[in-house]
Chain A
Amino acid sequence: MTTRISRLPRGGRNWLVLAVLALLVGCSGGEDGGGSSGLTRVEQGNLDGVLHFGNGVEPEGLDPHIVTGVAENKIVSALFEGLVAKHPETLEPEPGVAESWEIAEDGKLYTFHLRQDARWTNGDAVTAEDFVWSWKRILTPELGAQYNYNLFSVVNAERYANGEINDFDLVGVKALDDYTLQVQLNSPTPYFLQLLDHYSTFPVHRPTIEEFGSISDRLSPWARVGNIVGNGAFTLTEWQINSHVRVEKNPNYWNADNIRLNAIVYYPTENLVTEDRMYRDGQLHHTQEIVLDKIPVYQQEIPEQVKITPWLGTYFYMFNTTRPPFDDVRVRKALAMTVDRDLLVETVMQGIVEPAYALVPPDTLGYFPPKTFDYDPERARELLAEAGYPDGEGFPAFDVLYNTQESHRRLAVALQQMWASELNIPAQLVNQEWKVYLENQDNMNYDVSRRGWIGDYVDPNTFLDMYVTDGGNNKTGFSSERYDEIILREAPATLDREARYELYREAETLLMESMAILPIYTYSTKHLTHPSVKGKPSNIMDHVNFNHIWLDPTVTTE
Chain B
Amino acid sequence: MWRFIGFRTLQAIPVIFVVITVTFFLVRAAPGGPFDDEKAVSPQVQAALEAQYRLDLPMHEQYFAYLADLLRGDMGPSFNYPGRSVDELIFQGLPITAELGFYALLVAVGIGVLSGVIASLRPNTVQDYVPMSLAMIGICMPSFLLGPLMVLVFGIWLDWLPVSGWDQSSGDKVLPSITLGAMYAAYIARLSRSGMLEVMSQDYLRTARAKGLPERVVVIKHALRAGLLPVISYLGPAFAGLLSGSFVVETIFQIPGLGRFYVQAAFNRDYTMILGTTTFLATLIVVFNLLSDFLAAWLNPRLRYQFQKGK
Contact = CB atoms under 8 A, between A and B. Distances in A.
A293 interface: no
Nearest to B45: A144
Interface in B66-108: 77, 80-84, 89, 92-93, 99, 102-103, 106-107
B45 A221 contact: no
Nearest to B108: A19
17 contacts: A5-B215, A23-B107, A26-B173, A27-B170, A27-B171, A61-B83, A142-B52, A145-B45, A162-B44, A218-B49, A224-B83, A243-B256, A278-B163, A434-B267, A436-B32, A439-B32, A472-B40
A277 B152 contact: yes
A281 B40 contact: no
B190 interface: no
A66 interface: yes
A9 B45 CA distance: 67
Given A271-B251, A277-B155, A438-B36, A142 B173 contact: no
The 8 closest A-B pairs by CB, nearest first: A435-B32, A472-B40, A19-B110, A144-B48, A30-B167, A4-B215, A242-B256, A35-B169
Given A270-B251, A277-B164, A144 B52 contact: yes
Interface in B259-292: 260-261, 267-269
Interface stretch (A10-18, A78-86, A324-332): A10-18
Interface residues of A, number: 78
A207 interface: no
B171 A28 contact: yes
B308 interface: no
A288 to B, nearest CB: 13
Interface in B86-134: 89, 92-93, 99, 102-103, 106-107, 109-111, 113-114, 117-118, 121-122
Contact of A5 (B106, B122, B177): B122
Contacts of A222: 83
A211 B250 CA distance: 36
B31 interface: yes
B214 interface: yes
Interface in A215-247: 218-224, 240-243
Nearest to B169: A35
A221 B32 contact: no
Interface in B150-175: 151-152, 155-156, 159, 162-174
B110 A16 contact: yes
Interface in B23-59: 30-33, 35-42, 44-49, 51-52
A31 interface: yes
Given A8-B118, A144-B45, A271-B252, A31 B164 contact: no
A241 B81 contact: yes
Given A30-B173, A241-B92, A473-B39, 12 more contacts: A11-B216, A23-B174, A26-B173, A27-B103, A34-B168, A34-B169, A146-B45, A161-B44, A218-B82, A241-B81, A281-B163, A438-B32
Given A63-B82, A161-B44, A219-B82, A35 B253 contact: no
A33 B99 contact: no
Contacts of A436: 31-32
A156 interface: no
B219 interface: yes
Contacts of B117: 8, 12
A7 B257 CA distance: 41
A68 B172 CA distance: 33
A273 interface: yes
B163 A283 contact: yes
B41 A9 contact: no
B207 interface: no
A314 interface: no
B114 A12 contact: yes
Nearest to B178: A23
Contact of A60 (B80, B155, B172): B80
B99 A31 contact: no
Contacts of A273: 148, 252
Contacts of B47: 144
A269 B254 contact: yes
Contacts of A221: 83-84
B48 A16 contact: no
A145 B47 CA distance: 11
Interface in A38-93: 60-61, 63, 66, 68
B169 to A, nearest CB: 4
Contacts of B52: 142, 144, 218-219
A30 B172 contact: yes
B220 interface: yes
Contacts of A473: 39-40
Interface string A457-488: 00000000000000111000000000000000
A141 B48 contact: yes
B77 A435 contact: no
B277 to A, nearest CB: 14
A433 interface: yes
Interface in A170-227: 218-224
B83 A223 contact: yes
Nearest to B270: A60
Given A1-B215, A8-B216, A26 B103 contact: yes
A365 interface: no
A27 B174 contact: yes
Given A34-B168, A283-B163, A240 B82 contact: no
A60 B36 contact: no
Contacts of A33: 168-169
